[in-house]
A and B are shown apart, each in its own frame.
Chain A
Amino acid sequence: EVQLVESGGGLIQPGGSLRLSCAASGFIVSTNYMTWVRQAPGKGLEWVSLLYSGGTTKYADSVKGRFTISKDNSKNTLYLQMDRLRVEDTAVYYCAKTTGRDSSDWPYFESWGQGTLVTVSS
């Protein structure tokens, strides 16, 4: 069974940094595509970043240059390093197992974690 467990969220001041983790089980992160999606309080879903199995990364313009997606294959864990945080980055951050180039249809999000809340406020 696929499981994704996010952690690392919390209250941080504007301009600060935070690293989110997404521990995966039931599948191998290194051979899959992975995504971060966020949801501001009471709002809709916003795609943040996608990591190809081969290491290529893609980012939304709103986070490009500030956020970095990565993985640790030995820990089967996905990360999101968030720097220069802004008030508008406040959201629940979800990681998602993502269909990849080997699928006929990609990318969409097959499995989601429960999310971790990031609050950027002074």
Chain B
Amino acid sequence: EVVMTQSPATLSVSPGDRATLSCRASQNIRKTLAWYQQRPGQPPRLLIYGASTRATGIPARFSGSGSGTEFTLTISSLQSEDFAVYYCQQYNEWPPITFGQGTRLEIK
């Protein structure tokens, strides 16, 4: 099973600043990684797939990078609606499809 580890667990950032979230895979997953955003009381929403491709309708301030075992989600100029929990998910080797434990992005 591919274990996904996200860091930090909680990230405090001021509105307008940049946030950098990390996701590490326990083995090489090439670029088979997706990122999701989950606001309180809402289902997850697909942000990024293929490690760096934005999903339809996702603002350009969201960007993904990385390959192999190290991945990053960057949110430039944070807006109020961006404060949420973010999950990474690998789909290189499955079943099982595995998620990271999440990073909570909170207002500083």
Q: How large is the interface on A (under 10, 10 to 19, 20 to 34, 35 or more residues)?
A: 20 to 34
A109 CB–B CB distance under 8 Å: yes
Contact between chains at A112 and B87 (CB < 8 Å)? no
Q: Which of A109, A111, A113, A114 has the most CB of B within 10 A?
A: A109
Interface residues of B in 43-59 (CB under 8 A from A): 43-46, 49-50, 53, 55
Q: How large is the interface on B (under 10, 10 to 19, 20 to 34, 35 or more residues)?
A: 20 to 34
Residues of A within 8 A of B87 (CB): 44-45
Interface of chain A, main secondary structure: strand
Contact between chains at B101 and A109 (CB < 8 Å)? no
Instruction: Say yes or no: A108-B95 contact (C-beta < 8 A), given A44-B102, A94-B43.
Output: no
Which residue from B36, B53, B55, B97 sits with its C-beta under 8 Å from A107?
B97
Contact between chains at A112 and B44 (CB < 8 Å)? yes
- In the complex, what distance in Å separates the CA atom of A60 from the CA atom of B97? 8
Contact between chains at A105 and B50 (CB < 8 Å)? yes
- In the complex, what distance in Å separates the CA atom of A60 from the CA atom of B1? 11
Q: Fill in one digit per residue for A103-122: 1 if any B CB lies within 8 Å of its CB, else 0.
A: 00111111111110000000
Which residue from B43, B49, B95 sits with its C-beta under 8 Å from A114?
B43
Which residue from A46, A109, A115 sits with its C-beta under 8 Å from B46?
A109
